[in-house]
Amino acid sequence: MSQVLALKYRPSSFDKLIGQDAVTQTLTLALEQKRLSHAYLFSGLRGSGKTSTARIFSKALVCEQGPTSTPCEICEHCKMANESRHIDIIEMDAASSRKIDDIRDLIEHTKYKPNTARYKIFIIDEVHMLTKEAFNALLKTLEEPPEFVKFILATTDPLKLPATILSRTQHFRFKQIPSSDITHHLSHILNLENVNYETEALDMLSRAGNGSLRDTLTLLDQAIIFSKGYITPEVIASMLGLLDPKQLELIFDTIIKGDREELIKIVKELENYECEVVINELIAYLKESFFNSDGRFSTLITERFFRILSESKNLLYLNADNGFVLTLLFFKMLEAMNIKTIEELVDSLEGEKFRIPKIEPSIKVPKPQQEHANEAINENPKEEIVAIEKPLHVEDNGAEQFAKLIVKLEDRSHELATCFKNFIEYTSYENGTLTWASSADDEHRKTLKHGYPIIRQFVQEVFGIDTQIKMSQSEKKKPLDNTHANKKSSSLKEDIEFNNPNEGSNTESCVSGHITADKKESEAKEILNDPFVKKVQEMFKVKKIEIHPKV
């Protein structure tokens, strides 16, 4: 009579346990050093080896050569333990025997010594299913059992156990078995069963098992029957309702190419599959491609795709139409290929706002000359007409733009602007590169370095967003006489505010005053016409805006 693979290849010793090295090592050393506890708790995912480990550990305790980490397998105790008929190894299912009366019977059994073995061992499976009263009844016996009694508790949900139970046991956590270990174990079993296979098919079975060896072996039993002796990825995909690896490749290639019509065809083909299964397969393919350094998927694209796939799984819980969810999923991934990064968006916005337009004004011709030109054209109509235009480039007035840069710095920070004027000298502006010479010493160099982000911002505003800065060192230059400069700049204010007996100077000051007023008025209009200021005015319904110069 045939036996299912999960039972036929159930491990019978510690060295045959799969993927639980930490648990195996601890229990083995405990047996060898005779440092045994009276109660153990095994918790972990279903099919991770909890019950198998409990039976192996029980056999190691009752073996005639023991307690030993390597039971002899030939003594009567080992044989009865392997056949699950040892009278002193008592297994109890807490899911069916969960009441206080069942625990009372168990406590009654602990009062009597073992019949033939060294210890009397109680294995309580699914212990979290016990009632609150049953747990309370077990506490005293679990804390101080007779010296010949050992408890082994197993559960898939340790969070449901009372803290009083957890504190009375040694807790061993069984981790999820790695897919690579499961695949290797499957290949070993298939070689023993003389079944041909492809490794990629075993990887698909391992992923479908979700880290549970028992679930994976159950699927392997089904695959052996369905495949007629040869297990391939196509067979596994058909049996489990998964996507073929070639189909996954086609989906991502279509998304990268941006072929919308082909995507719609693919969605119609995938309506026969479960939407959640499709999303899980896409995530697994994306993960594998990322780890294999697939050049098609950058880190940013991978993060975008993974976020879209995760959000799409949440839509399934809203009872949404599966086909429509897949359609949204694929087209969102398609749009994700075109999304710019934040840095690219900021650069483009700054370029549109601060780029200086190239103006090409035509030179006006005086009227007499224009009439003369018209006569010449009428006399020679076949000659080519050439418009007299002169393009205006920023390079032609670099020194003037540099002066505007200093003015902007003065508005932002007087200290930084003073240091910049005193130690930075304009050299040239050619081919989008601004060159200046620096004569700053260590102290002033720190000031310029600290304020470089501000300087860089204003350079981009004045000269253009793509302007490059090139600096050269020069001999130290003496700071400007601020007293003289202040006297000169303040003379305009004095001439305007006070009546000067000298008529000529009074006339000059009035002209300067009008120029300053016009400049301030134009700057105020420029600020009010700024799109950001208008947007704020619309949002907050501003009735009055006051403009104050920076101090």
**Least confident residue range of 29-38, 440-449, 540-549:** 540-549
Q: Give the per-residue pLDDT at 26.
A: 94
CA dihedral 359, 365, 367, 370 (to 10 degrees): -110
Return the sign of the alpha-carbon dihedral for residues 453, 435, 345, 349.
positive
Residue-wise burial string across 249-286, b where 16 or more C-beta atoms lie within 10 A, e elsewhere? eebbebbeeeeeeebeebbeebeebebeebbbbbebbb
Q: Give the per-residue pLDDT at 351.
A: 64
Q: How would residue 373 be classed by pLDDT, with cut points 50, 70 and 90?
A: very low
| Mean pLDDT to the nearest integer, 268-290 | 86
| Mean pLDDT to the nearest integer, 17-41 | 92
Q: How would residue 122 be classed by pLDDT, with cut points 50, 70 and 90?
A: very high
Q: What residues contact residue 184 under an 8 Å CB cut-off, 6+ apart?
A: none
Flag whether pLDDT at 188 surpasses 90: yes
Under CATH, domain 5-174 is a member of which superfamily? P-loop containing nucleotide triphosphate hydrolases (3.40.50.300)
pLDDT in tens, 196-242: 999 989 988 998 888 889 999 999 999 999 988 889 988 888 888 88
In eight-state DSSP terms, residue 118 is S
Strands 230-231 and 149-155 turn out to be: unpaired
Strands 149-155 and 39-44 turn out to be: parallel
Q: Using the structure block, give the residue that is written with the tokens 């991770």.
A: 48
Closest CA to 402 of 438, 355, 356, 435: 435
Q: Which two tokens stand for residue 215?
A: 């679930």
Q: Using the structure block, give the residue that is written with the tokens 């060898």.
A: 32
pLDDT in tens, 32-52: 998 999 999 999 999 899 999
Neighbours of 197 (CB within 10 A): 23
Secondary-structure breakdown of the chain: helix, strand, coil percentages, each rounded to the nearest 5: 60, 10, 30
Q: Using the structure block, give the residue that is written with the tokens 């023993």.
A: 192
In eight-state DSSP terms, residue 362 is B
Q: Give the per-residue pLDDT at 314.
A: 82
pTM of the model: 0.57
Quote the CA–CA distance of 402 and 429 in Å, as a whole number.
9
Q: Using the structure block, give the residue that is written with the tokens 């019509």.
A: 261
Closest CA to 18 of 147, 157, 209, 153: 209
Quote the CA–CA distance of 93 and 279 in Å, as a whole number.
37
Closest CA to 472 of 432, 423, 431: 423
Quote the CA–CA distance of 49 and 11 in Å, as a whole number.
9
Return the sign of the alpha-carbon dihedral for residues 519, 525, 529, 530.
positive
Q: Give the per-residue pLDDT at 355.
A: 53
Q: Which two tokens stand for residue 451?
A: 């304020």
Domains of the chain by residue range:
5-174, 179-240, 245-336, 394-483, 494-540
Q: Give the per-residue pLDDT at 495.
A: 39
| Mean pLDDT to the nearest integer, 238-261 | 86
Quote the CA–CA distance of 479 and 485 in Å, as a whole number.
11
On average, the pLDDT of the chain sits at 80
pLDDT in tens, 507-524: 444 434 444 555 666 677
Sheet holding 149-155, edge to edge: 89-93, 120-125, 149-155, 39-44, 170-174
CATH topology of domain 245-336: Zinc Finger, Delta Prime; domain 3 (1.20.272)
pLDDT in tens, 159-185: 999 999 999 999 999 998 998 899 999
Domain 179-240 CATH (choose: 3.20.20.70, 1.10.8.100, 3.90.1170.50, 1.10.8.60): 1.10.8.60
Flag whether pLDDT at 385 surpasses 50: no
CA dihedral 387, 393, 396, 402 (to 10 degrees): 150
In eight-state DSSP terms, residue 313 is H
Domain 394-483 CATH (choose: 3.30.300.180, 3.40.50.720, 3.50.50.60, 3.10.129.10): 3.30.300.180
Neighbours of 43 (CB within 10 A): 21
Q: Which two tokens stand for residue 428?
A: 């040239």
